[in-house]
Chains A and B, each alone.
Chain A
Amino acid sequence: MTNQAYRLVLGCILLLSLYFDAMPILYSLIGMLVIEGVSNRLLPNVISKFRFHRECDTNEGSLGLPFKCRTSVTAERAWRFMVASMLVVGLIVFPKSMWFFPWFMAFAIFGAGISGVCPMYLFLKQCGFR
């Protein structure tokens, strides 16, 4: 399972959950993202190791651009934290005033899953994440 496929699935689940107001699913997704970020057990890597006995390419989604690495934390891991944080802000902290945030996140993640272009991921790479 590539990271791009992971984003596509995550985006679909987010969109459906937001449409049907499936808050438990949304909370579960937030929890899963936090666990992935904390434990560094990313779901695509786990599946890839199980199936192909190797991890996913850390440069997948970099579009071949050169980025300078300043920390050992991977951008994917930081991305999980970012997404989880934004979902928390949009769903729990400011559900009424920032209602658009989770929708934006869901659409963006869905689009990144289709096109392979994730500006947030590229931003994290630019910040120096591995």
Chain B
Amino acid sequence: MTPSESVAPQEVQRRAPYGLPMRIAGIVFWGLVVIGLVVTAVLMKGYEKTLSAQYTERAAILATQLEQQMSAQNTRDFEAQRDAIEAMIKELDIRGLEIQSPEQFVVVGDISDKGSDPTTIFATKFPNVLEKTAFRDTNLTLYFPSFEKVVGEYRKRVLLGMGALFLAFGVCLQIALRRILGTPFDQMTGDAKKFLAGRREVRFDDKRDDEFGFLAGFVNQVLDQLNHEQDELRQALERERDAESRNEELRAATRAKSAFLANMSHEIRTPLNAIIGYTEIMLRDPAIREKYERPMRSIERAGAHLLELINDILDLSKIEAGAMEINEVDFDVHELIEGVGDLFRLRCADKGLAWKLNDNVSSRTFVRSDQHKIRQVLVNLIGNAVKFTNTGEVTLSVANDGDRYSFEIRDTGIGISEEDQKRLFVPFSQGAAGINKGGTGLGLAITRRNLEMLGSDLALESHPGSGTTFRFNVHLPTAGRAVSARVKRKADDVKLAPGTVVDAIVADDVEENRELLAYFLRGIGVSVRLAENGKVAVDQVAQKMPDIVFLDVRMPVMDGVEALKRIRSENADRYVPCVAVTASALAHEVEFYLQQGFDRLIGKPFRLNSIQTCLAELLNAKFVSQSAPVPATEPETGKEHDLSDVVVPEPLYAGLRDAAEIGAVTRIEQLISEMRASGATAASLAAALEEKLAQYDTEGICRILDGVAHR
């Protein structure tokens, strides 16, 4: 959660209308009520005693006053003294009086006992006061106001007064509590609201010397911690945003790089497709082959050289981008080694080197791994061995221990110094000898990365002048099934078997590519309809269903993918195989097109083999080979030139040397022209150089220059 995403502060509501002060006051009030009642009960007991004593005293006073009054009047006629007696009882707050003497029964005052105003009959016997007087035979019955009522009235007054007192005390207590508790509480509440509103510098008042101050101290620590964590969170989020933006920039750069590579791959392969493809077509013509085979082969090799160069660059880029994948296939190890051996046997013979193959692997060993990468590694290592060995031999040794295969490439070449060994596997980095021999400096870098992907590593042992040995082990698990030996079909002398009719549609917006593929297909007996974009191809499929459709993936109006979807949707009742044609070599793009629904994918430059394989696998087409023999594909190595008398001017020699080292073919051509113009003695050198140049053999040019005098 970011600070900006934190939960918005909600207004905290009081659940009860009365807070702590009221509750405390209520509890205190309870206690006071109990105490008050106890006090009241005690007071009542005392009051009852007092009242009883009062009644006794008043009775005695009345009796005494009555005796004195009667004695003063010297009479026993109480009736005659009624008024005086009424005055007495009124004065003493006696409600009524009954006087019972032997002569009379007199009632003075009100002695009725009303329900709502009861009386208390206090005495029925004359008090001891008159015991020794003449009225000892007279009984007085005094009627006082009800004892319970008087006590009750008194109790009510007491309780009322106490209740009022307690209520006032409660109110004062609550006011005091509100001030004591409420003021700091309100202050803390206000400070908390300010903090929640965003004023992070607000702190609670911890200077108070009570519980609130104590609490405020802890709360301030919590707020400090909270601020600190928020700051850290904010910084972390900023760092994360920065890292994310940097990652996005890197991703954008990677995407741009991949797009650039895809585009460059397409842009370079497309014209290469025309070069290599038309060369291959023209070489199928015996008349052209007889007259122009060498130049045509040169063009073919130049195209292959360019293709190899772009493939190396793309491979390295793929490796750096982590896009290189392992493509496992089942293959025969022995066949792989034989193929590589055949390739380099001739090259070694050309240089006068001995080629040795120690194949200790049992024949017909089928394994599952990335055959292409292993072959690439072997070709690169052995190619370097041949390049950097002038005399002696190049040996390839292969052995296996179960699924573990060990490869060793040993040469008797110039060796690699320790200093050069440190930079050997750095892309585009070459040692002094490597610079002299030409190349891009990518081979060993790609080789090592490929081996790492295969779970292996490359070991190097070399000393200057003592040759070089490269070793690597790779795990090649046994394949689940035997792989039939690939029949090497000479692509340029096969046609569809008689009776096999194949109708194809070729769609490509580039006319050369369209025509080229059509040539290939017509050359092997396929009838071809052409379309300049996907929409035309779809219309042609609707007109007449073909047997197979070749769709370039990049076309205007409607591209290959869209055309494929239209063809599938409009022809749900009949399935026509569709082949994607693309110049892109990126693995993820290949996978993409296959996932889109294409049955196969062929790359540019076209190879007749791949086209034939498509037809064979998708249409079960049968091919028959033509009877015309194919002349040797290896070019002539060139006649020997006598260069012993040749002396080359130093600037010319240096220019040739420099141009040969960096592979500047055009510059070499210019310098050869200058050389021819300089005189007849240099003509033989020029011819020799031209021969090598025709084969793009810059190493050969360097070897020739090594044997030529210059000053």
Contact = CB atoms under 8 A, between A and B. Distances in A.
Answer whether A and B are interacting partners.
yes
A100 B163 contact: no
Given A100-B41, A115-B18, A15 B163 contact: yes
Nearest to A64: B15
Contacts of A108: 30, 33
A114 B30 CA distance: 11
Interface in A88-130: 96, 99-100, 103-104, 107-108, 111-112, 114-117, 119
Nearest to B22: A115
Contacts of A96: 148
A64 B148 CA distance: 45
A2 to B, nearest CB: 9
A19 B22 contact: no
B33 A104 contact: yes
Interface in B124-163: 148, 152, 155-156, 159-160, 163
Interface in A64-100: 64, 96, 99-100
Given A108-B33, A116-B16, A100 B40 contact: yes
Contact of B33 (A63, A111, A117): A111
Interface in A29-80: 63-64
A63 B26 CA distance: 13
Contacts of B15: 64
A112 B26 contact: yes
A63 to B, nearest CB: 7
Nearest to A61: B16
B27 A100 contact: no
B29 interface: yes
A75 to B, nearest CB: 17
B491 interface: no
Contacts of B26: 111-112, 114-117
A87 B674 CA distance: 136
Interface in B1-50: 15-16, 18, 22-23, 25-27, 29-30, 33-34, 36-37, 40-41
A115 B37 contact: no
A103 B159 contact: yes
B148 A104 contact: no
Contact of B37 (A15, A63, A64, A100): A100
A116 to B, nearest CB: 5
B163 A107 contact: yes
Nearest to B17: A116
Interface in A8-23: 15, 18-19, 21
Nearest to B155: A99
Main secondary structure of the interface of A (DSSP, over half): helix
A76 B163 CA distance: 26
B37 A104 contact: yes
A119 B159 contact: no
Contacts of A63: 23
B160 A19 contact: yes
A108 B30 CA distance: 6
Nearest to B29: A111
Nearest to A96: B148
Interface string B652-667: 0000000000000000
A115 B27 contact: yes
Contacts of A112: 26
Contacts of B25: 114-115
B159 A104 contact: no
Contacts of B163: 15, 107
B181 to A, nearest CB: 14
A116 B30 contact: no
A117 B26 CA distance: 6
A10 to B, nearest CB: 15
B29 A115 contact: yes
A67 B512 CA distance: 91
A96 B23 CA distance: 33
Nearest to B151: A99
Contact of A19 (B16, B30, B156): B156
| Max chain B C-beta neighbours (<10 A), residue from A64, A103, A107 | A107
A115 B159 CA distance: 20
Contacts of A99: 152, 155
A45 B81 CA distance: 69
A15 B160 CA distance: 9
B30 A111 contact: yes
Contacts of A19: 156, 159-160
Given A19-B160, A96-B148, A99-B155, A116 B18 contact: yes
Contacts of A21: 152
A58 B148 CA distance: 43
A91 to B, nearest CB: 13
B659 to A, nearest CB: 95
B23 A117 contact: yes
A15 to B, nearest CB: 7
30 contacts: A19-B156, A19-B160, A63-B23, A64-B15, A100-B40, A100-B41, A103-B40, A104-B33, A104-B34, A104-B37, A107-B33, A107-B37, A107-B166, A111-B26, A111-B29, A111-B30, A111-B170, A112-B26, A114-B25, A114-B26, A114-B170, A115-B22, A115-B23, A115-B27, A116-B18, A116-B22, A116-B23, A116-B26, A117-B30, A119-B30
Given A116-B16, A116-B23, 20 more contacts: A15-B163, A19-B159, A63-B23, A64-B15, A100-B41, A103-B37, A104-B34, A107-B166, A108-B30, A108-B33, A111-B26, A111-B30, A111-B33, A112-B26, A114-B170, A115-B18, A115-B23, A115-B27, A115-B29, A117-B30
Interface of B: 15-16, 18, 22-23, 25-27, 29-30, 33-34, 36-37, 40-41, 148, 152, 155-156, 159-160, 163, 166, 170
Nearest 8 Cβ contacts at the A-B interface: A115-B26, A117-B26, A107-B33, A111-B29, A100-B37, A115-B22, A117-B23, A104-B37
